Structure 1
């Protein structure tokens, strides 16, 4: 019981941290004309010392990884926090933070479908009902955001990038549960993040001049905030939640993210908020409560 409760709260903490990421990205784009890959490189570079320390500490005395383990860690690292992040950062150039979070949170359905179709997993009626409640709520808020937009082409382009991010993250979550059990939460997460950081920096140096790292002070501030509040803390919280309650339930609990981003976008970015969005958020909360009671049981 205690482990399940801790898993639920860790999943909520991860959702809050990940929700802040979109806010920091939009604030950075408003502060200076920074490229998505440059902003992502700053985020990962600031987080690098933590992941190096955790990776070295957790690997001390541990069983060496086999070739298959390394292949899975590299693949999941590329999918989870490199692929998902770069697509998300690109999408945020075109759409609002609230709409980004709504599209991004299609990943729980993808996690469930991947589990059912390829991993032999089964979920109960209560989880399906919770999923339906959450997505009816997301659809209501999505309709509001789409109706408010004057540039539907930009919405579709940005939405396409963010959906690619959602798919990449769903693949990461689906493959990470087994590796977390095998390697441990801290070791797997640190290694996957080191792979993501290496891929991000290679991408940056291959496409941008070194001078692109010279940015106004606010950009460094947002990069550091993303590194700590939207990367280090939620990444480890998410992995710990997956270990306790599984990837499917962790993904469903994380659907509180759209509500958080809508509220934060209204408060910090001046994005519109409506009765449709609040009604949608209420349905999301109802779905999360349903999953929470099931998990506790």
Structure 2
């Protein structure tokens, strides 16, 4: 149990570093599409090395699963990723992370509409808390004259993440999650390589990057992509998806904290209050789970 929760915490920590590392990459003169090209390129490369060494069978995927993965990676995934990384170019990384974390509420509402999942009292309370937290974050952003482009990109990413959860449930059901992840990353890397080449007029060569930019790019691919995803699945294998989801609430906390430490972004009272409400909204529906034993079927799910 303790090991599984530790894996979940590490995964959330790695995901939470993405806006901070992206902000540092912009400081090196990289463009949005360059950052994303190297994020998914290095991410797919690291995952391929892991598969080749430890689990080569994960390279195998059905034709239908491959088509679905390519569709998600080349079309739906870029919708959220472009907005996410693009937003930190215009607004603080911490504000970006907190705005985007409104996606659980949107996902719950969409699931209630599309899949007829009931909105219980706990879930409704969760939605109110999350939306209230996002409202405080928006308020702080506008009080500080935040660039509207960054806010709109963050909102588009939030919508894209919610859409991807719905699309994933509809299209990728019954597929091996880790195999799908690799082909999603690979197709996203190819899509961003093509887009970056088209926009810049020439392919982007990692050897042309400065040593600092190369280290940051590789860190985004290794830490916020490969390690984040692998530890997430390791946590699910140990304690199940429900317990793993509880600890995803550490992701925005990581973003806000390291934005303050590494980027010297100020921590406003409104942001702290919004973060507390968002995290409370994420934890609320699951507050009783930690006191219950893990169902055997879920504890070994993947």
Q: TM-score range by the shorter chain?
A: 0.7 to 0.9
| CA–CA distance in structure 2, aligned partners of residues 245 and 132 of structure 1 | 24
Residue 218 (structure 1) aligned with residue 204 (structure 2): no
Q: Match for residue 190 of structure 2?
A: 198
1:218 shift after superposition: 0.9
Q: Match for residue 116 of structure 2?
A: 120
Q: Match for residue 278 of structure 1?
A: 272
1:242 shift after superposition: 7.1
Alignment of 1:245-264 (within 5 A): 245=241, 250=245, 254-264=248-258
| CA–CA distance in structure 2, aligned partners of residues 273 and 133 of structure 1 | 20
Partner SS for 2:266:
coil
Query: TM-score, structure 1 length as denominator?
Result: 0.82
Q: Match for residue 33 of structure 1?
A: 29
Query: Structure 1 residues 294, 124: CA separation in 2 closer, same or farther (over 3 Å shift)?
Result: farther
Aligned length: 286
Q: Please point out which of 11, 18, 21 is paired with 1:21.
A: 18
Q: Please point out which of 202, 225, 234 is paired with 1:231.
A: 225
Q: Which has the higher helix share?
A: 1
Query: Structure 1 residues 73, 45: CA separation in 2 closer, same or farther (over 3 Å shift)?
Result: closer
Unaligned stretches of 5+ residues in structure 1: none
Query: Structure 1 residues 171, 242: CA separation in 2 closer, same or farther (over 3 Å shift)?
Result: farther
Alignment of 1:32-181 (within 5 A): 32-53=28-49, 60=57, 65-67=62-64, 69-79=65-75, 81-149=77-145, 152=146, 154=147, 156-177=148-169
Unaligned stretches of 5+ residues in structure 2: 293-302
Query: TM-score, structure 2 length as denominator?
Result: 0.80
8 Å contact from structure 2 (residues 51, 59) kept in 1: no
RMSD: 3.1
1:219 shift after superposition: 0.7
